Structure 1
Amino acid sequence: MASKFSQSFKVTRQAPELIAPAELTPKEVKKLSDIDDQEGFRFQVPVIFLYRNNHPSPAMEGRDPVKVIREALSKALVFYYPLAGRLREGENRKLLVDCNGEGVLFIEADANFSLDELGDEIHPPFPCLDELLYNVPGSDGILGCPLLLIQVTRLLCGGFILALRLNHTMCDGYGLVLFLNAMEEMAQGKPTPSVTPVWQRHLLNARNPPRITHIHHEYEQLDDSNDTLHTTNPNDLDHKSFFFGPEEISSLRNHLPPRLKNSSTFEITIACLWTCRTAALQLDHNQTVRFSCITSIRNKGSGIPLPQGYYGNAFGYPAACAKAGSLCGSGLGIRSGVGEEGEGADERRVFEVGGGFDGDEGAAPPVYGGTAGAMSLISFCMKFQRMDGKNGILIPISLPKSSMVRFQKEVKKMIAQGASMEDLSEMKQSEKLLCKL
C-alpha cells in the first residue's frame, strides 16, 4: 500500500468546520471520573473505517456519505453533548468538561483512488493516515481543544473512509461504539438512540480516603528519560502488523508444558509478543519489564453496577512483571517474575495491549474498522480475516526500525521452532511457568 500510493495518492480537503449539537443542550461543567482523569489517558486515539459501495443499506443508498454523517453527528451530539465541549483543569489538575456546545471538528474530503486500489488486504499500518485524518493545527491538545475530530473522505468507487480522532479521557472503545451506534441510528431516521447515554462518572471515583489493598505496578511512575522508545525520532519508528492464525497459534502452543496447553489464544499470542519484543529491544537481563493488559470492568462482577449507556473509561490495566533475562531465555515457558523484582528495580512499561472494535455507520459492514495502528508503548488486538479465508488475530506493533528487524526474526523463529517440536514431555514443569496475562 505504501509504495503503490507514495506518488499518486491524493486527498483534497475542504476547510475544517465545527459541528455543534442540532439542538440547544445544557450549559454546565461536568467532572470526569478518577479513571478518566489518569495521566496515561491524556492522548488522542486515531480510529478508521473503510466502506465499499457494493452493498449499501437503505440509510445510505444514493446519499452523500459526507452529508449523512455530518447530519447524524449533529443529531447524536444532542444526546452526547459533553463531547461537543472542551476540557479544562480544576483543583489538583482534576479534569472537567465545560459543556459549552462549541462542537467537534469535521472535515469533508475527496480522494483520487478507489478502495480496490488499496490492495487485497486492508489493515494497519495506514501510511497515508495523515491525509485521511488531517491534524488540524492546534486541535490535538488535551485542554481547550475539540474532543473529537472526524474526516469523511469520498472514494472514486463510491465508497468512503471515515477516520476520527478521540480524546481518550472522554471515552473508551465501548463508549465510542455507543456514540457511533447513536450516529448510525440518527442516520436511519430514529429520533433517539436505542441506548440512552449515561454520564454518572462519579461511579468510578476512588474512595475517600483511598483504600489500597494490593500492589499495583501499573500505576507506578516510571523514569522514561533513558527509554529509547521515548527518545526515538518518530521518523525512525517502524510500524507493522502481525497475523496469528490457527497454524501460528498451534506452533506457539507447542512451546508450553502439558499442564498449560489449555491457555487461551490471547494468552499465548501476548506471551509470544511480550517475549519477542523484549528480546528485540535488547534490554539488560536484570531489568524488570512490565506488560499491561486492558481489562474491561463492565459486566465482570466487579461490584460496580455500571449502566448500559455509560460511555466513560471503564477498564483497568493490571500488570505482569518479569526480569528481561528470564523472559527472553525460556520461550513461552518462563519463570514468573511477579514479586521477584527487588527494591529500586529499574522498571519500565514495555507493552500495553487493548482490544479492537468494529463499526457500522448505516452502510454495509466496513472492510476494516478499528484503531488506525499501534503507538510506541501501546498496541491493539483485533479479529481479522485474511483473503485466503483464514481467521485470526491481527496485532499492529510500533518499534524503532532496528528493533523491528530483530522482532520479526524473533517471532518467526519462535513459530518455526514450535512447528518442529514433537515431544515436550521432558520439560521440567517445576522450572517453567507461563506468565498468565
Structure 2
Amino acid sequence: MAPDSSLTFRVHRRNAVLVGPAEQTPHEFKRLSDIDDQEGLRFHIPVIQFYRYNPSMKGRDPAKVIRDALAKALVPYYPFAGRLRELQDGSRKLVVECTGEGVLFIEADADVSLEQFGDLLQPPFPCLEELLFDVPGSSEVLNSPLLLIQVTRLQCGSFIFALRLHHAMSDAQGLVQFMTAVAEMARGHLTPSIPPVWSRELLEARSPPCPSFAHREYDVVKDTKGTLMPLDDMAHRSFFFGPREIAALRKHTPHHLRNKISTFDLLTACLWKCRTVALSLDPDEEMRIICIVNARGTKSGLSLPEGYYGNAFAFPVAVSTADKLCKNPLDYALDLVRKAKSEVNHDYMSSVADLLVLRGRPHFTVVGAYLVSDVTRVGFGDVDFGWGKAVYGGPSTGGVGTIPGLASFYIPFTNAKGENGIVIPVCLPGPAMPKFMVELDTLLKQPAESIDEQVEFAVLRSAL
C-alpha cells in the first residue's frame, strides 16, 4: 500500500531555532566553485527520511539526539553554519561568509503513526509542507541559513527527519556525506569517518575561460509556445521499475547492445519518450532531456579528493523534436541519451565552468526540458542516527526550485513482493498523466523478443 494522498494529520511545531557549531570555528570567506554558483543551483532542495521505532533506543529523544549531533558536525563542516554572499564586482560570484550563525532546526510532533503512511513509502508524501516547514524568509538565495532541518516525532515512536539544503553548497553525494557525519556523531563518534574537504578551486574556470563544447544545456530558448509546466492542476505519481519492467523495456533495444545499456539510460529514454507523447506538443517542438552525470571517480579524470562535498556534476543534454521522439522506436531516444552522457569528462567540466563565467552563470535551459537524476547509489537510506537505516530516504518531490514537473529522481525501492528496483516520481499536468500511463504500459506490454529476467535481477542488485 503506497502513501495515502488523502491522509491528513496535525503537526505541532516548536519555534525554529538556530543551531551553531559546538565549538569556535574560523570566521572567513570561502569561494564556491564555478560549478556551484550557477543560477540553476541557487535554490533549496528538500530531502525526507522516515525512521521506524527502535526498542533499543527507548527513552532517547530523536530531536535532541540529532540536534546535539548537528552542533558537533558543524565544527568540521562550519561553512554550513555561514551565509552566502555575492561579490559586488559584477561577476555574480558566490562566497560563503563563515559566520557561525548556524542552521535552522525545528522540533515537532505529529498525531499520526508511521503505519498510516502506508506499507510502501514513496513520493508524493501527504502534508509534506507540515513535515518540512518553510520558515518565513529562510529560503532566500543570499544571507539566509544554508540548512533547515525538522525532526517530527510520530505517535508510534517512529520519527521523520526532513532537511532542506541550499543546492549551491552541495550535490546529493555531498549532502549525504554531511548527513552521515551528523549520524555518526549521534551514534557517539568523535569525528566524521570521512573528513570534509573544501577544495572548490578544483572546479574553477580556466584563465582565460575557453569553452570547448557546445553546451546546449545552456541554450537561450524563449518560451514562445507556453511549454513550461503550469503551477496548478498537476498530477503526482510514482512508478516502480523492477527486474520484470526493466527486462520488458530492454526488449525494445538492439540485440547487440542489450547487455551494454545501463538501467539509467534505458529508463531515461523510456521516460523521455512517454512524457513527450503525453504532453501532446506541436511536432516541431524542441524537447530536451537533461541527465545529471556525476563527475566524481576515475571516468571523468577530475581526481576530486575523498571528502569533497561541493557540486561535482554536469547537465549534458540530448535534443530532439517531439515528432521524432513520438514516432521513432525507443532506441532512437536511447542513442541520444547515451551520446550526451558520454561527453562528460575532465575537459567537459572545465568547459562548463568556462562558459558559466563568460555568460554570467546562467540557468540551464528549462523550456521543453526534462531533468533526471539517479540517486540509487548515493546512500540516503543508509543514514543511521541510531534507530537503524531509514525506511525511506531521499528526495521528497519531483520539482526543481519553483518549477513543477521539471525533474524526476531514480530512488532505490523494495516493492510489496520484496523485489529490489527503482521508484521514480513523475509530475505532469493533470490531463497528461493518463496519457503517460498508457504509453508506458504499451512499452512494458508490447510483444517483443524474450530476454532472461534473471539478468535484470543481477543488474538491479549490483546497482542498489
TM-score by structure 2 length?
A: 0.84
- Cα deviation, 1:389-408, whole Å, max 9, x if unaligned, reads 11111111111111222211
Note the C-alpha offset of 1:288: 2.2
Opposite residue 213 of structure 2, the aligned amino acid is H
Distance in 1 of aligned mates of 2:53 and 2:297: 36
What one-letter code is carried by the residue in structure 2 that aligns with 1:412? D
Alignment pair present for 1:172 and 2:201: no
The amino acid that maps onto 2:51 is Y
Task: Map 1:423-434; keep pairs closer than 5 Å.
Answer: none
1: CA distance between counterparts of 2:209 and 2:5?
53
Kindly state the Cα deviation for residue 222 of structure 1 after the two structures are TM-superposed: 3.0
- Deviating more after overlay: 89-98 vs 29-38: 89-98
Q: Name the CA distance, whole Å, in 2 between partners of 1:153 and 1:38.
A: 33
Return 5+ residue gaps in structure 1 as ranges: 340-345, 425-437
Are 2:395 and 1:371 aligned?
yes
Higher mean displacement: 251-260 or 150-159: 251-260
For the 8 Å contact 1:44–1:166, the answer to whether it is kept is yes
| Matching residue of 2:370 | 351
Paired residues of 1:222 and 1:349 also in contact (CA < 8 A): no
1:216-243 Cα offsets, whole Å, 9 max, x none, are: 111223324644434x12x321111111
Q: Give the conservation status (yes or no) of the 8 Å contact 1:323–1:337.
A: no
Q: How far apart, in 2, do the equivalents of 1:4 and 1:289 lie? A: 34
Contact kept in structure 1, 2:286 and 2:322, CA below 8 Å: yes
What is the aligned-residue identity percentage?
52
CA contact (8 A) 1:289 1:347 kept: no
* Partner SS, residue 71 of structure 1: helix
Q: 1:284 aligns with which of 278, 282, 285?
A: 282
Counterpart position of 2:30: 30
Aligned match of 2:329: 331
- Structure 2 residue runs of 5 or longer lacking an equivalent are 340-364, 400-404, 452-464
Task: Give 2:92's aligned amino acid.
Answer: R
Letter in 2 for 1:100: T
SS in 2 for 1:333: helix
Task: State the shift of 1:212 in Å.
Answer: 2.1
Residue in 2 aligned with 1:21?
A: 21
Q: 5 Å matches for 1:232-251?
A: 232-233=230-231, 235-251=232-248
- The number of residue pairs the alignment matches comes to 409
Whether 2:38 is the aligned partner of 1:11: answer: no
Q: Find the counterpart in structure 1 of residue 422 from structure 2.
A: 393
Deviation at 1:379, TM superposition (A): 1.4
Asked whether the 8 Å contact 2:46–2:163 carries over to 1, the reply is yes
Displacement of 1:410? 1.3
Shift of 1:61: 4.8
Task: Read off the aligned partner of 2:212 and give its amino acid letter.
Answer: T
- Cα deviation for residue 25 of structure 1 reads 0.8
Give 1:26-425 correspondences, 5 Å limit: 26-54=26-54, 56=56, 60-90=57-87, 91=89, 92-224=91-223, 226-230=225-229, 232-233=230-231, 235-262=232-259, 263-334=261-332, 348-356=367-375, 357-358=379-380, 359-375=383-399, 376-417=405-446, 420-422=447-449
Cα RMSD for the two superposed structures: 2.0
Equivalent position SS for 2:75? helix
Q: 2: distance between equivalents of 1:191 and 1:383? A: 30
> Structure 1's 327 and 362: CA in aligned 2 closer, same or farther, altered over 3 A?
same
Could you say if the C-alpha distance between residues 178 and 61 of structure 1 is closer, same or farther in structure 2, counting changes exceeding 3 Å? farther
Post-superposition CA distance 1:263-289 (Å, at most 9, x none)? 222221111100001111122222221
Give the stretch that moved more between structures: 300-309 or 278-287.
Answer: 300-309
User: Aligned partners of 1:83 and 1:348: how far apart in 2?
Assistant: 32
Give, in whole Å, the separation in 2 of the partners of 1:245 and 1:55. Answer: 32
> How many angstroms does 1:337 deviate by?
6.2
> Residue 79 of structure 1: SS of its match in structure 2?
coil
Structure 1 position 69, deviation (Å): 0.4
Shift of 1:347: 9.1
Could you give the per-residue CA deviations for residues 59-82 of structure 1, whole angstroms, max 9, x where no partner exists? x45310000000001111111111
| Contact 1:218–1:317, Cα closer than 8 Å, also in 2 | yes
Contact 1:287 1:347 in 2 (8 A): no
SS of 2:410's partner is strand
Asked if the contact 2:227/2:367 (under 8 Å) is kept, the reply is: no
Whether the 8 Å CA contact 1:87–1:144 is kept in 2: the answer is yes
User: d(CA) in 1 for partners of 2:289 and 2:310?
Assistant: 24
Equivalent-residue separation in structure 2 for 1:13 and 1:354 (angstroms): 32
1:301 CA drift (Å): 3.6
CA contact (8 A) 2:5 2:125 kept: no
Question: For residues 337 and 309 of structure 1, do their structure 2 counterparts lie closer, same or farther at Cα, with a shift above 3 Å needed?
Answer: closer
- Aligned to 1:109, the other structure's residue is in SS state strand
Give the Å deviation of 1:260: 2.7
CA distance in 1 between counterparts of 2:63 and 2:108 reads: 8
Q: Tell me which amino acid in the other structure corresponds to 2:369.
A: V
Residue pair 1:46, 1:372 contacting (<8 A) in 2 also: yes
